[in-house]
């Protein structure tokens, strides 16, 4: 029934677990997957002094490396299982917005994500981004533990 599963990742151990399960589900249902990792936009670098530009470039570079690592993990998992896969990087200060936007734009019919992400159990019982995706998504969401 599910034809296109969105797998958001922030590179955390739990999200890697969710990716494995997502790829397995996609394989069983003959669905394709889209992996997404969201980079912060960092609008707060407003003042363009030399030193800030330098810091910004450095952080953006680091974020990009992290995102590439995250997406490479999805691509590898999908390739091993023989599941068609696309990956996608988006910049947004609120990851949940980007996740829902991409899911809708790409006509995904399921979002599958871990209960917690990088910020771990600090987000208490359910991670904050997962909670927000659950609240705002019109597409079914599967929370993996």
Partner 1 sequence: MYASILVALDGSDQSMFALNHARAIAQCFGSKLILVHAFPHTSDLRDSIEYNNLVALRIKRGEEIIETARKQLGRTSIKVDEDLLEGPASEAILSVAATRKCDLIVMGSRGMGSVKGMVFGSVSTKVSHYAACPVMVVR
In whole angstroms, how close is the CB of 42 to partner 1 at the nearest point? Answer: 28
Is-contact 40 63, C-beta < 8 A? yes
Contact residues toward partner 1 (CB under 8 A) are 1-2, 21, 24-25, 28-29, 110, 125-126, 134-145
Q: Label residue 27 exposed, middle or buried (CB < 10 Å: 0-12, 13-18, 19+).
A: middle
Is-contact 4 108, C-beta < 8 A? yes
In whole angstroms, how close is the CB of 2 to partner 1 at the nearest point? Answer: 7
Q: Which is nearer to partner 1, 89 or 139 (CB)?
A: 139
In whole angstroms, how close is the CB of 23 to partner 1 at the nearest point? Answer: 11
């Amino acid at each position: 029934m599910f034809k296109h599963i969105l797998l958001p990742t922030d590179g955390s151990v739990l999200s890697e677990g969710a990716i494995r399960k997502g790829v397995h589900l996609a394989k069983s249902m003959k669905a394709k997957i889209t992996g997404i990792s969201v980079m912060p936009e960092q609008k707060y670098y407003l003042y363009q002094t030399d030193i800030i530009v330098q810091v910004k470039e450095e952080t953006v570079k680091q974020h990009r490396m992290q995102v590439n690592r995250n997406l490479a993990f999805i691509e590898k998992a999908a390739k091993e299982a023989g599941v068609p896969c696309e990956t996608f990087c988006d910049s947004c200060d609120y990851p949940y917005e980007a996740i829902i936007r991409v899911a809708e734009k790409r006509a995904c019919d399921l979002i599958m994500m871990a209960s917690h992400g990088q910020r771990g159990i600090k987000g208490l019982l359910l991670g904050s981004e997962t909670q927000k995706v659950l609240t705002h998504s019109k597409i079914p969401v599967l929370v993996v533990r």
